Amino acid sequence: MTVQHEQKIAGDQDDFLSTPFATWLAIEPTDERDMFRMRFNERHIGNPFIRALHGGVVGSMIEASAELGLGNLVQVEGPTELVSSAIDYIRVTKDADLFARVSIVRIGRRLAFVEVRCWQDSEDLPVARGSCTLRILEA
């Protein structure tokens, strides 16, 4: 990866992380390029009685991580737009930070297929997984 590309990745990521949406979601990068963290906030709770995360918040985290992770892991020529996501909610969540790890299934000229796995206590105990399809637009 070139220095210029490293700088572009950092710039794109910083642009996204400064948006109102990224602030609302409280998503942040980690030391690992393919991993992101959602800092828990009361607004992420779906059911106040069992204090589980809202399914849509977990879905938002998966979609945001897919986009950020794709840009971090490979050199994408243009901006990306999420086309579809399919999310499985594997375990009950709790009122704590959520982590996401991104892996790329395939990247073509126009489309990228990305998988995201989320956990709270341990990466060995996933709480959700998502398959996302992203359209790569012309620069």
Partner 1 sequence: MDTKHPIEQYFSFKHPLTEYLPMEYLGIVDDVLTMDIDVPEHFVADPVTGAVHSGFATLVLDTVLGGAVLGHIKLAQPIATVGLTTQHMRRAVKGEKLTCRAKLEGIHRDMAHMSGQLSAANGETLSTATGTFMIGTRAKPLGARL
Rule CB under 8 A: say whether 117 interacts with partner 1: no
Select the residue interacting with partner 1 from 8, 26, 37, 59 (CB under 8 A).
Answer: 59
Select the residue interacting with partner 1 from 10, 74, 83, 125 (CB under 8 A).
Answer: 83
Q: Output DSSP code: residue 43.
A: G
Rule CB under 8 A: say whether 84 interacts with partner 1: yes
Q: Which of residues 87-106 bind partner 1 (CB under 8 A)?
A: 87-89, 92, 94-95
How far separated are the first and last CA of the chain, in Å rounded? 19
Distance set, CA 27 to CA 20, 41, 55, 82, 87 (Å)? 11, 11, 16, 17, 18
Rule CB under 8 A: say whether 76 interacts with partner 1: no
For 18-55, b/e burial (b = at least 16 CB within 10 A) is eeeebeebbbebeeeebbbbbebeeebbeeeeeebbee
Minimum CB distance to partner 1, residue 136 (Å): 15
Q: Which of residues 4-33 bind partner 1 (CB under 8 A)?
A: 16, 19-25
- Choose the stretch contacting partner 1; rule: CB under 8 A; options: 39-47, 69-77, 101-109, 110-118: 39-47
Mark out the alpha helices in the chain (DSSP H runs). Answer: 3-17, 20-25, 55-73
Rounded CA separation 108/112 (Å) = 6
Rule CB under 8 A: say whether 125 interacts with partner 1: no
Interacting residues with partner 1 (CB under 8 A): 16, 19-25, 41-52, 54-57, 59-61, 63-64, 81-89, 92, 94-95
